Amino acid sequence: MFIIKTLQTGTNKEVAFKTFSIFNARYIGNICFTITVALLPLYMIRFSMFGFKSNVLDILLIISIIASLIAIKSDMQTNRRPIRKIWKSNPFQKTLLIGSLMLFVGLLFSFAAYTSLSGAGIIKSWFILPFFSVFLWIQYASKKEMFSVIYIILLSITVTATVSIWYWLQGSLTFDGRLATPYLSPNHLAMAMSPAIIIGWFFLRNSEKTLLVSIKNLFLLTAILSSAFVLYTTYSYGAWIGCSIGILVGELFLAIKKIQIHSRSQKKVPTIFLPILLFFFLVISLSIISIVNTEKFHSLVFKDERSSLSSRFMIWRSAWNIGKDHWFLGIGPGNFQEQYLAYQKFYPPYLEWAVPQPHNIFLAFWLQTGLIGVIGFLIVLYSIYLLSKEAVQKQTAYNKNTIFITIILSIITASLAHGIIDTTYWKNDLSVLWWLWIFLFAYSSEKDAVHEKNESI
């Protein structure tokens, strides 16, 4: 109404036009970013342009960055959330940015020492584009838009799970009976499914409406069940362990928060640990049922020398020795496969030969970003958990923002737990999601975010 009224007056036409333009720029920027997040799996569609290799996701990220820059330029006229003030109020956020800077410096130093074409592509598609697309979007996105992105991610994963189930019905499995389609490997598919289980769990767990009455709850239940089924068909133990640890950390976070709030109000603390016990009983039961008759499980239990765990130990041993020989600068991004094969002469024949990443997120950062980069990565993680502690202390009510923080903390924790036996960052879609979780969490701890309108869950 303000825009319509001001357009009707001769003196305020210019003000109304600027307000309308700012709104449009912000809206378009948010739409571009949301579409990009919804279409993350399109990184698998690759093409060459003027001799340079790229993919659909890269193009979407570039468009999102341009749209965000335009939105920020327009938004600064209103002084709504100027960039120069966002990272000044919280020392932990400064630490986060310092860690991110160290990570990029280490990456560039390592690349300069061991230049490769694949390394340049990794820097572009797994670091620069994901980082800046998320960082720029977070400068002007509202809390409502951030919540919407969480649901968009959940919807995207559910659609992917539906496609995977269709392939499962068609019998499209790997040689060892695991589901991978539409991704290149079962582990990639498992990493894609994990966030949906965590998001759906906490939204459904904290819903005030009856399960079968709310359409939203039915969607959440569908997302959980479809993603869990697909995760089951991948037989990825690391993903199950990661999800379990992530949800456990999230539930403990909520338990501490509830006890803190109820102790302040001097009310009786409700039963909060029963859902935790029921969840882990379900996970353990499903895990046991799902793996006892698999070849992979038998090879682990009966200590098969060619099991996936034996192969992991062989890869880690080789990666560790590569790291000791290149401890400061690393080996450069995208060069692990070459170095891994070069170190074959020091060991018995490898069980796996095609190993582009060392199956450990910490080893991957150390080897491909050097000592400076991995220290920066650890600083980022340290700042995140300090921010989580601060978020508990700042919030005085159990509301949507509490669940928002809990979901992101749980996903980051699950990614790190899974990352002990796999590489849960070094891929196009995973890198975008990683920085999205990091910056969403950093924003959720801000004073203005914590003290926004307390909406019921």
27-56 pLDDT, tens digit per residue, is 999 999 999 999 999 999 998 877 778 899
Comparing C-alpha atoms, which of 22, 29, 246, 54 is closest to residue 134?
Answer: 29
End-to-end CA distance of the chain: 30
| Tokens (6 digits) for 131 | 């980082």
- Cβ atoms of 424 and 191 closer than 8 Å: yes
User: Angle formed by the axes of helices 186-205 and 428-444, to 10°?
Assistant: 30
Whole-angstrom distance, CA of residue 25 vs CA of residue 75: 8
- Cβ atoms of 374 and 430 closer than 8 Å: no
pLDDT in tens, the chain (457 residues): 434 444 444 445 454 444 445 568 889 999 999 999 999 999 999 988 777 788 999 999 999 999 999 988 876 665 555 454 455 556 777 888 899 999 999 999 999 999 888 899 999 999 999 999 999 999 888 888 998 999 999 999 999 999 999 999 999 999 888 999 999 999 999 999 999 999 999 998 877 665 556 788 889 999 999 999 999 999 888 899 999 999 988 988 888 877 776 665 544 444 444 555 555 555 555 555 555 455 555 455 445 566 677 788 889 999 999 999 999 999 999 999 999 999 998 888 888 888 999 999 999 999 999 999 999 999 999 988 788 777 766 666 677 888 888 999 999 999 999 999 999 999 999 999 999 999 998 887 664 444 444 444 4
Query: What b/e sequence results for 58-85 when a residue is b if at least 16 CB atoms lie within 10 Å of its CB, and e otherwise?
Result: bbbbbbbbebbebbbebbbeeeebeeee
User: Angle formed by the axes of helices 91-113 and 428-444, to 10°?
Assistant: 160
152-186 pLDDT, tens digit per residue, is 999 999 999 999 999 999 999 998 889 999 999 99
Comparing C-alpha atoms, which of 147, 200, 130, 192 is closest to residue 434?
Answer: 130
3-state secondary structure of 209: coil
- Cβ atoms of 392 and 256 closer than 8 Å: yes
Phi, psi of 81 (to 5 degrees): -145, 70
Whole-angstrom distance, CA of residue 414 vs CA of residue 244: 7
Instruction: Supply the pTM of this predicted model.
Output: 0.86
